[in-house]
Amino acid sequence: MIEKYTEWLSRIPPFGGCLRKFTVDENLAQISYKKHRLYILLTRIWAMTTLLLLIVCNFKNVIPSLSKKRMFFDNQSLSHMLLLALVAIITISLWEFLHSRYSPIEEWKLEKLLRGFTEESDLLRQHESSFNQTKSVKWNYSTADGLITIKLMAGGHVNSEMEKDIARRLLGYLVKETKVFWVLEDRRIKEGLLAMVFSHEKDERLIIGDLSELEKSNELNIQLTKRLSWTTRQPMGLIVGPTGSGKTSLLKALIISFLANNHKNKIFTIDGKGAFLSVAMSRIGKVATDGQSALELTTELCQIMQQRYEEMNADVDSEKDSTHADLFKQGSILLIADELLALVGEMQASDKMLKPTERIYPQFYSNLMSLIVKGRQASISVVVSGQQMPASILPTETRDSLGLRIALGRMSQQQTQEIFGLGLKDLPRADTSNFGGLIWLDGLDWELPKPFKSPYYDDEKLLFKKTLSKLAEAQGCVLPQAKCLS
């Protein structure tokens, strides 16, 4: 009883982000029956109280009424009781409406919806019992910053297959009952607890058309959508997508955002096809377009990484466990390795003519893996992109180090397995038109990748090469071939 009362008190405040709780251990018919009995009891109490008040208030009028042979009736108490009944009816009606599925107060509306879903989904039924016993389930929910967090504690009697499907079914139920747009933002299942995050608005695509609107930060912090950001928690990234899927536009957005993030940030570029990106990026940093120059560039980066580790470890008594950028405010370094598969193919073809000790690809691969695995603490980030990224180029153990993974356009079963480690049927549906796809960000406790709309880089407002030249001049680099890291 105390627990029920405490839960009821948690649900009284109509606004705010406080956690609300309630236990469902009765079906809707039982609740409706108890409520009906309560209203009948209240009506009887009111009628008896009204009658008693009329008797008490008019008792003094009995003798005068008999002596004067006319009835003296005091109706003031009746008026008060009728007014009380009217106020009670209005209050109860308003309470019922505000706790219905049509309520304008979402915190109160959710209670009715979750009770209805519990009933419709038969969550209370213990299917394996021949006695059809009912169990209880507990719901916790809160709303904050446009997100609705709902947690279900099923008590262990809901099987694992049913748990996996509850989020999808709840989404459908909410849409059906409210006729309002709902989005399932996230879902997590852990030790009998199912946590779901909903919203009423899809995450919006980011439009990059003005340098002044971009984030500023000492460490990696690049906004990808209105809600998602690429940070130091996921410094290494993978971008995969066929021609026309939006890879180049996304890379432009990342590059400009990274350089605008901190004027001390620097970029190294590898362009496996030696196309537009290599020509443009020569304005702001070092560029490699073939195997030998890619090896030299990654070797230099590994030397910088080693130097940064030495600087961080110079004070052996220091207790600080921070990145190089945070400690020394020298900015971060980003390595863009675009069309890596094309470059690797070229390297492997050239290596066939060389002695094993002289081959370029093994050395380049060793450098790249070292940067991916060890670069975060030295504030060095790596983004690898291409139309395909087979496991022979980036094996599974390496992909686990890539906290940012984006797949644009349509994907095959093999690609989804290579990128996300999941089958195609296990992934959420995503609109792959207009530079759409899926994204995975590590460290956010996601269970599955999310649908993703790649940032729109507005070339008309922010000419890419011209903007790079402007940023290079701000860094004091020499054009057209910048030597920022010399």
Alpha-carbon distances, residue 362 vs 268, 287, 367 (angstroms): 20, 20, 9
- How many of the other CB atoms lie within 10 Å of CB of 427? 18
Of residues 175 and 18, more confidently modeled:
175
**Long-range pairs of 429-438 with CB within 8 A, sequence gap ≥ 24:** 432/245, 432/408, 435/245, 435/246, 435/249, 435/250, 435/408, 436/246, 436/408, 437/241, 437/245, 437/246, 437/406, 437/407, 437/408, 437/409, 437/411, 438/406, 438/407, 438/411
Highest mean pLDDT among 112-116, 161-165, 213-217: 112-116
Dihedral through CA 180, CA 185, CA 191, CA 192, nearest 10?
A: 10
CA dihedral 21, 26, 30, 32 (to 10 degrees): 20
The pair of three-digit structure tokens given for residue 437, joined into one six-digit string:
């796809």
Instruction: Identify the helix (H) or strand (E) that includes residue 409.
Output: none
Separation CA 192–CA 155 (nearest Å) = 7
Closest CA to 345 of 291, 399, 391, 419: 291
Give the position of tokens 């109860």.
92
The single-letter code of the amino acid at 95 is W
Q: Is the pLDDT of residue 333 over 50?
A: yes
Q: Determine the residue type at 453.
A: K
Name the pairing type of β-strands 221-223 and 229-231: antiparallel
pLDDT category at 390 given cuts 50, 70, 90 is confident
Report the range of poorest mean pLDDT among 118-127, 295-304, 423-432, 445-454: 118-127
Question: Which tokens sit at 119?
Answer: 């009933």
Assess contact for 361 and 295: CB atoms under 8 A.
no
Q: Three-class SS of residue 121?
A: coil
Residue carrying the six token digits 């209240």:
42
Confidence of residue 336 (pLDDT cuts 50, 70, 90): very high
Which candidate, 273, 403, 411, 243, places its Cα nearest to that of 345?
273
pLDDT at 39: 94
Mean pLDDT in residue range 349-359? 92
Across the chain, mean pLDDT equals 87
Q: What is the pLDDT of residue 486?
A: 34
Going by DSSP bridges, is the β-strand pair 193-199/147-153 parallel, antiparallel, or unpaired? antiparallel
pTM: 0.74
Q: Given a cut of 90, is residue 58 above it in pLDDT?
A: no
Say which CATH class 207-475 falls into. Answer: alpha beta
Which of 150-164, 225-239, 388-402, 443-457 holds the top average pLDDT? 225-239
> What pLDDT, on a 0 to 100 scale, did the predictor assign at position 375?
95
How many angstroms separate the CA atoms of 314 and 320, rounded? 12
Strands (E), 38-182: 137-144, 147-153
Residue 282 CA to residue 303 CA, distance in Å, equals 21
Cα separation, 466 vs 445, in Å, equals 39
Sign of CA dihedral 83, 89, 95, 101: negative
**For residues 483 and 298, which has the higher predicted lDDT (pLDDT)?**
298
Which pair of tokens denotes residue 302? 């590994």
pLDDT in tens, 120-175: 888 876 544 444 455 788 999 999 888 899 999 876 667 777 888 898 899 999 99
- Give phi and psi for 24, each to the nearest 5: -105, 110
DSSP letter for each residue of 293-304? HHHHHHHHHHHH
In the chain, ranges of CATH 3.40.50.300 domains: 207-475
